[in-house]
Amino acid sequence: AERELLEAVSRITTSSNTSPSDEEEHQPKAEISCQVRKENPEKDDMQDSSATLSPNSSMTTKELQEYWRNEKRQCKQIKLLFEIPSARIVEQRLSKYVMYKIIILQTGSFDSNKSVIERRYSDFEKLHRNLLEEFSEEMEDVTFPKKTLTGNFTEEIINERKLAFKDYLRLLYSMKYIRRSKKFIDFLTRPELQEAYGCLRGGQYTKALEILLEVIGLQERLTRGNPASIVPTLCAIVVCHKDLENPASAFEYGEKALSRLRVHTSHRYYMPLLETMITLAYELGKDFLSLQEKLEEWKTKKDPMRVFTLKELAVREYVQ
């Protein structure tokens, strides 16, 4: 695929009438097919609707090369392992339940790449019920730990469920349609994201940022073939850094978000993100003209409409 790309770039460059001195200023444009490369043996692990280019997208040679480099990285499936090493009993005024500690590890990685979350039996039960509705055939032979009338808080039952839930998550992750499903990803990330956005809406930016930075790594690994899906989280991190007066960090995460929207300029976050990035670039003394050009280009292609600011979009996420 890389060889085909280089040949295509070579043909485009050769056919251009610009002189070498004009090349950087007038880079050739190329129409990119939205077809996923057939020879990629791991193509089934990509999100078809989000990981491909729009048939109308026009990119410079440099942008084309960068896009395919990123695409090649995205094609590689991240393999995750699930461990449930411990559990704790939570006693509240009107309820008592067990919280299971889930550690999610990337194979071949160090501890810095692990994610730690907690879920209770009812969370697993809800996930199972939701998956049965959408994937009844795939879930046909998947067993789920049954409830017991007594003994739910004994060490024996808790240890049995720790092992059962570990095997359950591993089995679900082994099925490509389930591991890519919103319901499975939400089970692993949504509670933390809801908490983070609640803190953001309450002006607790430091706490919100702490949670968002914890969950973004897991989101990236779970949505490897759908890079645009984590843009809202990246933008929330931008908002937090900006309000905490960390413009350099805000700009860094803003660049990450923009890179994921390169071929998704119709995304609802695209224009608000560009506006924020222009402000940050000006504040940091960086080049903002290219960002301004993209914004003006976007405005000429889109009908006038009500557009929220980046912060307004962020506070609307995960509102019940």
Q: What is the pLDDT of residue 124?
A: 97
Angle between helices 231-243 and 182-201 (to 10 degrees): 20
- Which of 237 and 106 is assigned the larger pLDDT? 237
Residue-range domains of the chain with CATH: 79-180 (3.30.1520.10), 190-316 (1.25.40.10)
pLDDT score of 299: 82
- Res. 196 pLDDT band, cuts 50 70 90: very high
* Angstrom distance (rounded) from CA 46 to CA 177: 10
Contact 217, 181 (CB under 8 A): no
Residue 316: what pLDDT? 93
Q: How far apart are CA 122 and CA 99, in angstroms?
A: 10
User: Poorest-confidence range of 27-41, 147-161, 283-297, 301-315?
Assistant: 27-41
Q: In what order do the strands lie in the sheet with 96-106?
A: 80-91, 96-106, 115-120
pLDDT computed for residue 150 by the predictor? 76
Give me the pLDDT at residue 191, please: 97
- Res 25 pLDDT > 50: no
The reported pLDDT for the residue numbered 106 is: 87
Three-state SS annotation for 274-288 = HHHHHHHHHHHCCCC
pTM here?
0.74
Q: What six digits make up the tokens of 218?
A: 């897991």
Q: What is the pLDDT of residue 146?
A: 85
pLDDT at residue 24 in the model: 40
Kindly report, residue by residue over 274-308, the tens digit of the pLDDT. Answer: 999 999 999 999 999 999 999 898 888 776 566 79
Per-residue model confidence as pLDDT tens digits over 46-85: 444 444 444 445 556 666 666 656 655 554 556 899 999 9
Amino acid identity at 146: K
CB atoms within 10 A of CB 4: 11
Higher per-residue confidence, 75 vs 149: 149
